[in-house]
Structure 1
Amino acid sequence: MIFVAVTGQRDNVGDSLLRRPMLAATAVGLPRHVLVGRDAMDYSTNLGLSSKDVVYTSRGRWISALALSALRRRSALILNSGEVVVDAKFLADRLLTLPIIALIRARKGQVIQTGIGIRNPSRRGPVVLRWFARAFTLMTWRDSQSLATAQAGELAPDWALMEGSDLETLSARFRLGDSEPRLVAVSIRGDHAPPTEAWLTQFRQALRSLNAEAVVVSQVRRDNDRAAWLARALECELVDWPDDISHHRQESRVRAVYRRCAWAASDRLHVLIAAYTEGCVPLNSVPDSGGKVARTLAAFGTSTRNAEAAEQQLDDDRATLISRLAEARERLEEITAEIRSGTPAA
């Protein structure tokens, strides 16, 4: 039996986006026992679930079913991708999970966690984290600092890079060139302090350097107020997230925006990744609080571009984007094949 955890934030398109390809990697013809979490609402509709899947909103019930399966048969456990906070609660939870992991391994089952990053990676992680990581049959980290903290596993790109436009479509779009005016997709977190007037002045200068206009997008519903404020300040188009728009529909809406843009700027990691997969070169115009954006982009050989130089280097940056995206998807296809080869088959 296959048990997969894909819990995430119900108001964050990036949370369903990054977990959908990870969940797809576990599709081997068997029904999956999928934990989506409490109050998942339309978040779960954007995960690519099958009608055969057994969906759980209660973690306790999911764990109970997992433990029973591990006692009776060969099973596979695939834990969540995304960001983790290595605090006392996380470590206690992982310590309690180790006996179930031992049961699964004893029956030659799989224990997998891929595409994760630590919010604040340190030089050396707690011993419980290292025990946990070394107990897995496959573990991949989406940035090198998280890998160094855990001291076990391997480096691999974020799962969200599997989504978006195919390489042929992107190449054709780049050959055709841009229609005027060129656009920059911009998104800023609503749970941090608002940007200063000095930042707004700098961003307007960046737009002038790029000979571009801005379009403000919201991939996270709680960012709506900040997005509206920013669109007013920049006097530009706004694509927010109304209450009656689902996860799936909002992802389609923001991707349509990204396909119109040459660049993207954000302190939301999965805004930049989703925009990247639609052909947007990432800019460093929004401060990267905590360094998560830079760490995760570096894992697949990418970095943000300075706006003052970006306009002249757009063709080169787009060629690099195609190359890096191809390499990232090839690596993720390899991980998908590895997951499926060891997962109990139908």
Structure 2
Amino acid sequence: MSSVIAAASPDASSRPGIAPPATFTYLSGQYDNLGDALLRRAFAHALGADRRWHVYLGAAPDDYVAALELPRDARTYRSLPRWLAAASVGMLRRGRSRFLANPGEISSSLTEFALGGASAWLLMLGRLVGNPGFRLGVGARDRARPASLGHELAVRLARVNAWRDETSRNLYGRGDVCPDWAFALSPEGAEHERRNLALAYRTDRPLPSDAVLHAVIEWSRERGLEPIAVSQTLRDRAGTALLAQRLGVAHAGTEADDLTTLEREVRGIYQRSALVLGNRIHALIVGAVDGAAPAIVIGHPDVKIARTMRPAGLCLEDGVTADAPDAVGPYLESVYAHADDDRRAVGAAGAALRCWAEAAGKTVA
């Protein structure tokens, strides 16, 4: 952990007669994507104690907002100018505020240029009066100027940068690495007998070949595991239904029209799964939190799955990323054999994230 964050000043909330400091952040994401909501929920829960949150949500629908489970007294903003005005005033109140960057993926786009620029502005104001800003759990898809300049400046102004993977850190040239915030989620429900193998795929990416997928099905049934296809985002539902039909397996995530119901349905499957495999990163992470061993079996080169999992000590072996059905059985057998190691790694990742959150709280003067 950064030596800067370790040199913490006393928490203002412990001083008599001083109200808890404010947190200014934005928590946008793909609004039909359960994983995007869950990682930000874990982030807010870990960092939210004794802080009044001011959160820009833009056009987020009600079910996405509900899935975030923000602190009860959080103030939400639909207008970016109104949030930015409130945050600008707040970040100039000495010792009373902090800025937290939105965790998750950034890219070199016009929208991210604007959000990066707004972040840099707030970080600059905070530096004038000693109010800190943190970028914790951010991942970078790329770094292409001029669109990346907003985030480049924000990175330089933040008190602490902790990227969600080493590749992102190397792209921007400074900071530490921490696990993805979804690893800070609490496991859902009680332990169950694990009789399923969950398949969670982005259906806008090439799927593995029929030979690879049938090798997965064959391996799972040889181990007494029943495969089931899972839609963790609403946009994947139609494609996952076709995949389930193609493989002759059941399909979960079909009934929900809101993220809260979808969470209950898909996490119920993960609780009963020995493995979860696919190319939906947060399906692998949420499945791992709920006790299923994550595996990478995909139909395209892996540009970000393993790099996101490895800071948590998961997916250390190369997955199956080519039309190599003979590689499926040995790979899944190895993942299956190390499931207990993966569960311990998930616990350690959650503990590490709680340390980051605690240290970020203590640096608020």
Fold in common (TM above 0.5): yes
Q: Is the 8 A contact 1:28 1:343 kept in 2?
A: no
Alpha-carbon distance in structure 2 between the residues aligned to 1:248 and 1:62: 26
Does 1:263 find its partner at 2:275?
yes
Q: Is the 8 A contact 1:25 1:339 kept in 2?
A: no
Of the three residues 19, 25, 28, the one matched with 2:46 is 25
Alpha-carbon distance in structure 1 between the residues aligned to 2:118 and 2:186: 37
Does 1:253 find its partner at 2:274?
no
Q: Which residue does the alignment assign to 2:158?
A: 136
Q: Structure 2 matches for 1:124-273, cutoff 5 A?
A: 129-165=151-187, 178=193, 182-193=195-206, 196-208=209-221, 210-242=223-255, 244=257, 246-273=258-285
Does 1:279 find its partner at 2:291?
yes
Aligned with 1:299: secondary structure?
A: helix
Q: Is the 8 A contact 1:8 1:37 kept in 2?
A: no
Q: Structure 2 matches for 1:68-83, cutoff 5 A?
A: 68-73=89-94, 74-83=96-105
Alpha-carbon distance in structure 1 between the residues aligned to 2:291 and 2:255: 25
Q: Which residue does the alignment assign to 1:50?
A: 71
TM-score by length of 1: 0.86
Percent sequence identity over matched residues? 26
Q: Is the 8 A contact 1:11 1:221 kept in 2?
A: yes
Of the three residues 322, 341, 358, the one matched with 1:320 is 341
Q: Which amino acid aligns with 2:162?
A: T
Q: Which residue does the alignment assign to 2:133?
A: 111
Any unmatched runs of 5+ in structure 1? none
Please give the per-residue CA displacement for 1:151-183, whole angstroms capped at 9, x wherever unaligned.
1111000110111428x966xx6xxxx56xx32
Q: Is the 8 A contact 2:43 2:184 kept in 1?
A: no
Please give the per-residue CA displacement for 1:219-249, whole angstroms capped at 9, x wherever unaligned.
10010001111111111111124354x2122
Alpha-carbon distance in structure 1 between the residues aligned to 2:121 and 2:332: 55
Shift of 1:206: 4.1
Q: Is the 8 A contact 2:182 2:285 kept in 1?
A: yes
TM-score by length of 2: 0.82
Q: Which residue does the alignment assign to 2:120?
A: 98
Q: Which residue does the alignment assign to 2:15?
A: none
- RMSD (Å), alpha carbons: 2.7
